[in-house]
Amino acid sequence: MISTKNMTNLYWFCLSVECGGFAAASIKANTSAPTVSRSVASLEQQLNEKLLHRDSKNFQLTNAGEEIYNKFSGLFSGLDGQWQSLSNAQGELTGDIHISCPEPFADFFLQALALEFMAEHPKVNIHVHFASDAKDFISEQIDLAIVTLPATASHLVQRQLFETELALAASKSYLTQKGAPGSAKELLDHNVLAGNNFPYWLLKEGSEPIKIPIKPKYSINSLRLNIQAAIEGAGICLMPKVALEHLASQNKLVPVLPEVECPKGTAYLVWTDRKMIASRVVAFRDLVFSRMNHNAETLWRNMLG
């Protein structure tokens, strides 16, 4: 019969693989990294097999480690699922939810939703952190993240909230002073405003794809403030087309190179791929999806208009 200690060691091993390291696993499980590391080392000693290649830069499964993980990770996922079913059956939602998102999403979407959710579930507390990506998901112990840059960590899953067409725009005062670019390549000679960490804009002029390296005159990690800078004549920005149409009708911005095809703007909701996700988090996540399905265009108009 498997001992409690060995079962615990297997659990720490599977969690470390899912989180991509001992430090991330320890944060997720609210314990210390040395505790997790010792447990995995003890498991390796018990099995007389090296399960992980690990140093300061690498954390990779051996063949034996992959076999052990494939055999037991499903068991823990199943237990997590059963526990989640039991938790959901308890009725009342309680506890904390930590969410990260870009500031404008909190301003015009998330805060109203959070206040409504807490009114319906008085024992739930919601804490919002500002970020546009999921880079600090584990270290900040985030439950849900709304991001505009796709998550890349293997232990995170993401689902698209919405996609919107983007367009180039500037103020009339800027174009009067600097002149309007006649082609995508002429953007290199203009003041470019950037709000994300993309190294380039991938545009399409006719049938030709063109990469425009982003060396911004001004950058700020807020799309709302980026667009405000464009309105004030600081340069050319990339923004949602639906918001540009609204601002153009108010004579605040005008389209730049409207014949050029711009990349899509996409937002995702991100959470951990572990099955044991608290029922309060599941309930709020599902509410976000439900409301966003009906309000994406309205959100952009309110957020940026």
Contact between residue 168 and residue 192 where contact means Cβ atoms under 8 Å apart: no
Calculate the average pLDDT of the chain.
84
Residue 29 burial by CB count (10 A; 0-12/13-18/19+): exposed, middle or buried? middle
Q: Average pLDDT, stretch 88-109?
A: 80
3-state secondary structure of 117: helix
How confident is the model over 245-270, as pLDDT tens digits? 989 999 999 999 999 999 888 889 99
Split at pLDDT 50, 70, 90, the class of 305 is very low
Contact between residue 253 and residue 245 where contact means Cβ atoms under 8 Å apart: no
Split at pLDDT 50, 70, 90, the class of 188 is very high
Greater model confidence, 56 or 119 = 119
pLDDT for the residue numbered 158: 86
Q: Average pLDDT, stretch 168-180?
A: 96
Greater model confidence, 158 or 293 = 158
CA distance 292 to 3: 47
DSSP β-bridge partners for residue 211: 202
Residue 188 burial by CB count (10 A; 0-12/13-18/19+): exposed, middle or buried? exposed
Q: Average pLDDT, stretch 67-86?
A: 73
Split at pLDDT 50, 70, 90, the class of 197 is low
| Torsion 116-121-126-132 (CA) sign | negative
CA distance 271 to 284: 12
Contact between residue 175 and residue 263 where contact means Cβ atoms under 8 Å apart: no
Reading the block at residue 144, the tokens are 């849900």
What are phi and psi for residue 13, nearest 5 degrees? -65, -50
How confident is the model over 202-254, as pLDDT tens digits? 999 988 899 988 889 998 877 888 899 999 999 999 988 888 998 999 999 99
CA distance 223 to 212: 19
How confident is the model over 154-170, as pLDDT tens digits? 778 888 888 888 999 99
CA distance 195 to 174: 19
Pairing of strands 156-170, 264-272: antiparallel
Q: Around 164, how many Cα atoms within 13 Å sit in the side-chain half-sphere? A: 24
